[in-house]
Chains A and B, each alone.
Chain A
């Protein structure tokens, strides 16, 4: 399917476990982003990537790791999950830094850490 897809849609994990959220886009967009959405905070940028093998921190990167070996994939890993990382995670992509271009969002992954 064309577009941007996230998997899984829902995930429950235990504190301390490693979990990876997947993001795949079919447009060959250069830029990809990970946001988390929490009540009262809106969306906050975790990490972003300008191209394959180029990643950089966003506003709230602590506790997360990303990689981008291929343009189309941008997985987000929680190395040791904590309850504070319970959130809805959105992946997005755009053709350029979203200075004036649209960012396209996946449907989100709802992660619960128990």
Chain B
């Protein structure tokens, strides 16, 4: 079974500061990795994904993530936080979930707080 661990249920940064959200995964096969964002009272929206090829992936809204196989990590970064970045962020890995089904396995989420 695959799993995802997001370090820190809440992360607070100042506006203009670096955003770093951590994600580690476990997988017995080459993973496909995703970051989704959820704004209040909305569904999830894809930020970026890693499938194959370049390990540094750029997404929407200035976010990027780097796949590091040796560290089994897929951390999300943004050089300069904006107030509009305040949201819940989910890291996910594709493949078989705990129930053996085809679907995304999600981390528990990180709530990003932006301080003015």
**Interface of A with B (CB < 8 Å)?**
31, 33, 35, 40-45, 48, 50, 56-61, 90, 92, 97-100, 102-103, 105-108
Contacts and interface: CB of A to CB of B under 8 A. Distances in A.
Given A100-B49, A107-B42, A42 B106 contact: yes
Given A42-B109, A48-B102, A108-B43, A99 B95 contact: yes
B51 interface: yes
A81 B100 CA distance: 25
A99 B94 contact: yes
Given A90-B44, A100-B49, A102-B49, A59 B98 contact: yes
Contacts of A102: 34, 46, 49
B61 to A, nearest CB: 16
A98 B104 CA distance: 7
A89 to B, nearest CB: 11
Residue from B41, B51, B98, B102 with most neighbouring chain A CB atoms (10 Å): B102
Contacts, number: 78
B43 A105 contact: yes
Nearest to B4: A42
Nearest to B45: A105
A99 B2 CA distance: 13
Contacts of B108: 40-42
Contacts of B90: 42-43
A58 B103 contact: yes
A56 B98 CA distance: 13
B116 interface: no
